[in-house]
Amino acid sequence: MEKGMQYIMNTYSRFPLKLVRGEGTYVYDENGKKYLDFAAGIAVTSLGHANKKLTEAIKSQAEKLLHISNLYWNEPQITLAEKLVKNSAFDKVFFCNSGAESVEAALKLARKYASKSGSGKYEIIAMNNSFHGRTLGAITATGQKKYREGLAPLLPGIIHAEFNDIKSLEALITDKTCAVLLEPVQGESGIHPADKDYLVKVRELCNQNNLLLIFDEVQCGAGRCGSLFAHEIYGVYPDIAVMAKGLAGGVPIGAMLATEKAAQGFKPGDHASTFGGNPLATAAANVVMDELTGGLLSNVKKQGEYLTLKLKELAAKHKCITEVRGLGLMLGIELNVPAKDIVAKCIENGLLLVSAGERVIRFVPPLTVSKEEIDELAGILDSSI
Ligand SMILES: Cc1ncc(COP(=O)(O)O)c(C=O)c1O
């Protein structure tokens, strides 16, 4: 850890914990101490740690071909794109390597689409309290001051409306607006699901004003909420959706999906990524997609309901929990005490959790989590509080 602090740039406040291996919903530190992992690398390790099918696919792909660039075709990438399209309302996929990159791709596609139509539109309306990543475009879209300080001037033409407030959005639409960007379930700012009525109206407003609707499903997508995309639960379909995090179970990947119409905004040369969709990452994501379409989603729904029940029991017992909310296995508890104190105590007691803002603890375990593991979590959390 001392060496890490000496050589690694000081951008993270890490817990003093060095993890060396994992298995399913558990990880182990260098002394062999076992931790129940409900942080899952911040909603990433969707199939748990050291999943056999995933490990085999990564190993076998590494023995064949790791990387070739997008100058040529590769089979795992095409197969993954086909799976994503056949299991969604989208027609085309662009691959990249992270959530922020997928957001950048969507911001660019929205502007390119508008510029191609000669409309002169460029403005994108994002939401207050959102989180879209740390690149300059994504951080401009992120509606939280604390992340944007000291970076001015940010990208012009991105403004913010109140989330879950249709009037606030309506008031900001002008003849310069080309797109609306939002998370169907805001994650990093504290697990805030959109209201169904609101999302339906956002779609209507976009249709009426000829705006592209972009959903950031980096955290709430890839099965996390109980369906492949969170927007399917709402029955509201965007023109563009971006995903990352859990899509390849821990191998870096990002994807932007678009309808045929929106995808027309890009022509060859308009956007690219050296690593995007490389054979290793897409071979891993193919395994995750097969699991998600092969029955894993029913476990997400079932265990999501059970976890909600257990968290509500804890809320009834402990006054410091003021609300339980979320969808599927993307749940949060609102606290009236600092989240970090409880998270630190849980680590001591063998449980990894991740906070969201100062007063919310997130529960984003592997999608393979079992009822027994949820019982174990509830016990540790109870005694830690
Ligand atoms: C909704 C959302 N969008 C984008 C990002 C950025 O993803 P990445 O850290 O992979 O760039 C995150 C990360 O937490 C996220 O939750």
Q: Where are the domains of the chain?
A: 2-51+297-384, 53-291
Best probe residue, ligand 1, of 12, 163, 181, 218 (max atoms within 8 Å of C-beta) = 218
d(CA 238, CA 203): 7
CATH code for residues 2-51+297-384: 3.90.1150.10
Query: SS3 for 74?
Result: coil
Measuring CA to CA, which residue among 186, 232, 219 is closest to residue 325?
A: 186
Read off the pLDDT of residues 70-112 as tens digits, 9 standing for 90 and up: 999 999 999 999 999 999 999 999 999 999 999 999 999 999 9
User: Taking a C-beta distance cutoff of 8 angstroms, is the pair 230, 207 a contact?
Assistant: no
For the cut 90, the answer to whether the pLDDT of residue 303 exceeds it is: yes
Of the residues 216, 275, 310, 363, which is catalytic?
216
176-206 residue pLDDT tens: 999 999 999 999 999 999 999 999 999 999 9
Of the candidates 247, 308, 219, the one whose C-alpha atom is nearest the C-alpha of residue 97 is: 247
State the average pLDDT for the chain: 98
The pLDDT value recorded for residue 143 is 98
Can you spell out the DSSP letters for 96-108? Answer: ESSHHHHHHHHHH
Residue 214 in contact with ligand 1 by CB distance below 6 A: no
- Ligand 1 proximity of 219 Cβ (cutoff 6 Å): yes
Reported CATH class of domain 53-291 = alpha beta
Is 245 among the catalytic positions? yes
Respond yes or no: is residue 216 known to be catalytic: yes
Annotated catalytic residue, options 83, 92, 245, 310 = 245
Q: Is 52 a catalytic residue?
A: no
**pTM, whole model, 2 decimals?**
0.98
CB proximity list for 284: less than 8 A, separation 6 or greater: 54, 57, 58, 61, 248, 249, 250, 251, 253
Q: Which amino acid makes up residue 221?
A: G
Q: Under a CB-based contact definition with an 8 Å cutoff, are residues 80 and 222 in contact?
A: no
Token pair for residue 259?
Answer: 């309808």
Task: Report the relative pairing of strands 330-335 and 321-327 from DSSP bridges.
Answer: antiparallel
Closest CA to 213 of 223, 194, 199, 234: 199
